[in-house]
Structure 1
Amino acid sequence: MSGHILPYSDHYINFTLKMSNAFNGKVKSDTLVCHCRNP
């Protein structure tokens, strides 16, 4: 059972990390754009 759950949880954790990193990157770039447009 643990052999089945571990790969899934590892994949899920990696997936959520990628998603949060992409989201944070988008927020940062959006913030930079706002600051550049409205200094």
Structure 2
Amino acid sequence: MHARKAFPSFDEPAFKIPYQMTITTPEKQVVASNTPV
């Protein structure tokens, strides 16, 4: 999935903005990230 399809955004480095995301999953599932959490 590309970020521009998931979030309204401009795909330009000059327009980056911090955001916060909360992911809730069942206990036995694992969530992975390619950025520090």
Q: TM-score, structure 2 length as denominator?
A: 0.20
Max radius of gyration: which structure? 1
Query: TM-score, structure 1 length as denominator?
Result: 0.19
Q: Structure with the greater relative contact order (CA < 8 A, sep ≥ 6): 1 or 2? A: 2
